[in-house]
């Protein structure tokens, strides 16, 4: 019986979602349907939370950005077909899984150090 649930749930998973973690900066290209027309809207910000892991059809993540002094947070279902693509812009160095402390910070204090990975010249 468990395997039947897995069968249904796994059929909902998307394989083209890139790997990213809380602290990463991402651009989510999200399909918006306005009446008949469909267009793509980008939402760019820091991932402050991932919910239920990567391989779960109910998984979601929250992206936070600050627009004109107002913090804006958006929750996306990770495997939603409405997500056109996710682009990972930066990988940050953070020490916790939920970055709720960013909500209390403004400007310079809300920065996240970028993770520098050594890439040998090929």
Binding site for another protein (CB under 8 A): 1, 4-5, 7-9, 12, 31, 33, 57-58, 77, 79-82
Residues 73-87: b if buried by 16+ CB within 10 A, e if exposed: eeebebbeeebeebe
Smaller CB distance to another protein: residue 33 or 109?
A: 33
Nearest-approach distance from CB 55 to another protein, in angstroms: 14
Smaller CB distance to another protein: residue 35 or 107?
A: 35
Choose among 75, 6, 17: nearest CA to 45: 75
Element (H, E) at 52: none
Rounded to 5 degrees, what are φ and ψ at 83? -80, 115
Nearest-approach distance from CB 13 to another protein, in angstroms: 10
Nearest-approach distance from CB 4 to another protein, in angstroms: 5
């Amino acid at each position: 019986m468990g395997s039947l649930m897995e069968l249904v749930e796994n059929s909902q998973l998307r394989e083209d979602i890139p790997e990213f973690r809380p602290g990463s900066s991402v651009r989510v290209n999200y399909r918006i349907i306005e009446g008949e027309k469909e267009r793509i809207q980008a939402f760019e910000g820091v991932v402050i939370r991932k919910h239920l892991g990567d391989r779960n059809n109910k998984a979601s993540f929250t992206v936070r950005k600050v627009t004109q002094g107002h913090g804006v947070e958006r929750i996306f279902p990770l495997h939603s077909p409405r997500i056109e693509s996710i682009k990972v812009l930066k990988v940050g160095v953070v020490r916790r899984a939920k970055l709720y402390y960013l909500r209390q910070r403004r400007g310079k204090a809300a920065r996240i150090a970028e993770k520098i990975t050594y890439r040998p010249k090929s």
